[in-house]
């Protein structure tokens, strides 16, 4: 998948995200413009436990746009002095204590093609079905196909749509065998695009997606449901991990929960107060 996912963040936000990834590595080295120092930078990236998943793409940016790595390393060096000490547990995972401050949504305000339900099935053939029958048809249709599928109640989807306007970008922790990996997400119309943090650090707004979810609204008013479909890159996620991310979207955006709403607000409006460990603590106390 090569779809552009995350719109351009502010320079400060990019620097903050990149510096925390580098801080995750032990013995991080300075990247300069010479080939020898770029090689050292690659050594740093290779120490990341998720590097193998993205090795090809990281190698491409090293070959095609080495200045991107240099620029972000320089920003990291400027911000490193301002970073406080982190706990031993925090040092084992990616950190985001300085998330986005500004988002330019112009690039994602419209999709090249607005996905509609008729792209998948003939809406006229199911309009006479009950809500329960539609849910069964939808889930059965995708049961043996790659991807994830679900049915979202109207009220929950209206919450998702409302919150997505004020919190269009967020991060979610994904449990991995080595700890947690952060996944960035961005809403665009009736879609949500996800990319891994390490890919965003390498490709910024051109980061390839690891998961794309679409909400089909055609039956919402008449039947009170919205149909959900998600497709993921099997080289990065499995169905269980994709479902975990979809469930967290429901929890943060579909439900009204004061604690989780505060996390969304702090990420968007008060990044200096945002703590990534709060996301992990919230996930660990839930059974998804």
Is position 6 within any domain? no
Is position 160 within any domain? yes
| The total number of structural domains that make up the chain | 2
Is position 1 within any domain? no
- Co-location of 77 and 128 in the same domain: no
- Co-location of 154 and 188 in the same domain: yes
Quick one: which of 219, 221, 195 has its CA closest to 206? 195
SS3 assignment, position 29:
coil
pLDDT by residue (tens digit) across 29-54? 333 345 666 666 666 667 666 677 77
Report the chain's C-alpha Rg in angstroms.
20
CB 191 within 8 A of CB 1: no
pLDDT by residue (tens digit) across 116-154? 898 888 888 888 999 999 999 998 888 888 899 999 999
Is position 16 within any domain? yes
Residue found by looking up tokens 């009950």 in the block: 130
SS3 assignment, position 177:
coil
- Co-location of 217 and 122 in the same domain: yes
SS3 assignment, position 182:
strand
Average pLDDT across the chain, whole number: 76
- Co-location of 40 and 134 in the same domain: no
CB 41 within 8 A of CB 202: no
Burial, 173: exposed, middle or buried (Cβ in 10 Å; 0-12, 13-18, 19+)?
buried
- H or E, element range at 60: helix 55-64
- Co-location of 204 and 274 in the same domain: yes
pTM of the model: 0.66
Cβ neighbours for 73, distance < 8 A, ≥ 6 positions apart: 18, 22, 30, 31, 41
Instruction: Show which of 61, 92, 123 is a domain's final residue.
Output: 92
- Co-location of 177 and 117 in the same domain: yes
The rounded distance, in Å, linking the Cα atoms of 120 and 239 is: 20
- pLDDT for res 225: 95
Quote the domain boundaries for residue 37: 11-92
Cβ neighbours for 52, distance < 8 A, ≥ 6 positions apart: none
Q: Which residues of the chain have pLDDT under 50?
A: 1-33, 77, 80-111, 288
- pLDDT for res 232: 96
Token representation of residue 282 = 């919230």
- Co-location of 166 and 205 in the same domain: yes
């Amino acid at each position: 998948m090569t779809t552009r996912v995350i719109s351009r963040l502010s320079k400060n936000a990019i620097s903050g995200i990149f510096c925390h990834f580098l801080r995750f590595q032990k013995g991080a080295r300075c990247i300069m413009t010479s080939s020898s120092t770029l090689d050292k930078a690659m050594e740093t990236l290779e120490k990341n436990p998720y590097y193998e998943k993205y090795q090809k793409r990281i190698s491409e940016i090293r070959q095609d746009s080495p200045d991107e790595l240099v620029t972000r390393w320089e920003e990291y060096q400027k911000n490193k002095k301002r970073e406080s000490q982190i706990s031993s547990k925090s040092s084992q995972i990616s950190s985001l204590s300085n998330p986005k401050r500004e988002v330019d949504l112009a690039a994602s305000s419209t999709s090249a093609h607005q996905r509609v339900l008729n792209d998948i099935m003939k809406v006229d053939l199911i309009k006479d079905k009950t809500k329960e029958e539609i849910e069964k048809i939808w889930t059965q249709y995708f049961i043996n196909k790659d991807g994830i599928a679900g049915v979202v109640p109207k009220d929950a989807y209206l919450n998702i749509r409302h919150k997505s306007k004020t919190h269009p970008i967020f991060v979610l922790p994904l449990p991995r065998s080595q700890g947690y990996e952060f996944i960035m997400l961005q809403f665009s119309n009736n879609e949500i695009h996800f990319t891994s943090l390490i890919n965003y650090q390498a490709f910024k707004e051109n980061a390839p997606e690891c998961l794309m979810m679409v909400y089909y609204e055609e039956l919402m008013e008449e039947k009170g449901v919205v149909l959900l479909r998600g497709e993921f890159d099997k080289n990065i996620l499995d169905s269980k991990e994709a479902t975990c991310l979809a469930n967290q979207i429901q929890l943060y955006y579909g439900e009204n929960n004061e604690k989780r709403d505060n996390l969304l607000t702090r990420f968007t409006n008060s990044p200096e107060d945002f703590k990534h460990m709060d996301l992990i603590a919230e996930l660990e106390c839930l059974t998804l």
